[in-house]
Chains A and B, each alone.
Chain A
Amino acid sequence: MDIKDIIKPENLVYTKTKLMTDNALSYCPGCGHGTAHRLTMEVIEEMGVEADTIGVAPVGCSVLAYDFMNVDMQQAAHGRAPALATAISRTWPDKYVFTYQGDGDLAAIGTAETIHACNRGENIVIIFVNNGIYGMTGGQMAPTTLPGMPSSTSPYGRDTAKMGFPLKMTELIANLPGVYSVTRQAVHTPKHVRKAKKAIRQAFENTRLKRGLSFVEIVSNCNSGWKMTPNQANEWLEENMLSFYELGDIKVEGQLVKK
């Protein structure tokens, strides 16, 4: 069979969702942000709720998320996305409100806003992309940088005696009684992408049922910051990040399933 006979509209099984704009993504080649954006938008499209969805973009690499996600979006001051989402959700209780934040935004400057929005059990989804580094500003140490991991502000590796330990925000969040669901996923292989999408779908279903706060961490790469090729970075992620940031559900329907 000729390829031309396969490539016909009726045979299309996968293409980019219309809820991703045609703007070229500003991310480095191979960066997991693009995949995480697309999964989020695929879920919104499949649920048919784009007219009721309001997203909040952070400061960091994904500051321009609103250029790519084809839903109403607000751009927050650094770390404050959960405060915006709180207010949007409180004043529009029937809307689907989500934040999309990196590890610097969520786990450093926005620690207070994150913890308190979670603790209040706001009916929102928080998507937390953790690549262990500050990408946008050029590869500085993040609260999530692994012990011994080099960055431009820990050039000899993260010395935990001087620089503190990596912060597992997701486990910390899971222990707050206001939080309904917490999961940690990845998007570097097709298998992980499929699982991550299911987790994001579950999070937005929780919003539909007004169950409260759903927190989805996505362990991702930063090949530019890590100074690797994209595929090397994905292998390094598998070998190093995932042994520290273990994948899987941490809290389901308000119950801790993993300590």
Chain B
Amino acid sequence: MAKIKGAIVVDIEKCKGCEVCVPACPSDVIGMSKEVNGKGYHYAYMANPDACTGCSNCAIVCPDGVISVYKVKMD
């Protein structure tokens, strides 16, 4: 059975740390960093990368459009 693996890339300096992506993720992938970006926001990151399926939910609710999503099918 094919398995789907995903990953996200967050534009750290543009992330405003609003956390809207966190509950949007069905696989609890996203966490908020302890560090802050140049604007002082705790930015989103993949806290649990193995669970990401590349579903794009986080990216499409992100008000600032800072998340890019990648996906591969693995046989």
Contacts and interface: CB of A to CB of B under 8 A. Distances in A.
Contacts of B41: 29
Nearest to A191: B57
A172 interface: no
Contact of A29 (B5, B17, B49): B17
Nearest to B9: A7
Interface in A154-194: 187-190, 193-194
B47 interface: no
Interface string A230-241: 110010000000
Interface in A1-24: 1, 3, 5-8, 11-17, 20, 24
Interface residues of B, number: 34
Contacts of B71: 6, 11, 13
Contacts of B20: 30, 188, 230-231, 234
B70 A30 contact: no
Interface string B14-57: 10111110111000000000000000010000100100001011
B61 to A, nearest CB: 5
B54 A13 contact: yes
Interface in A204-254: 229-231, 234
A32 interface: yes
A34 interface: yes
Contacts of A194: 60
Contacts of B49: 3
A34 B22 CA distance: 17
Contacts of A30: 16, 18-20, 63
A31 interface: yes
A230 B19 contact: yes
A25 interface: yes
Given A29-B18, A187-B61, A231-B22, A15 B7 contact: no
A38 interface: yes
A3 B47 CA distance: 13
Nearest to B16: A29
A12 B68 contact: yes
A95 interface: no
A14 B68 contact: yes
A80 interface: no
B69 A12 contact: yes
A27 interface: yes
20 contacts: A1-B5, A3-B49, A5-B72, A6-B6, A6-B70, A7-B9, A13-B54, A14-B60, A14-B68, A15-B68, A29-B18, A30-B16, A30-B19, A33-B63, A35-B61, A38-B65, A193-B60, A193-B61, A229-B19, A230-B19
Interface of A: 1, 3, 5-8, 11-17, 20, 24-25, 27-35, 38, 187-190, 193-194, 229-231, 234
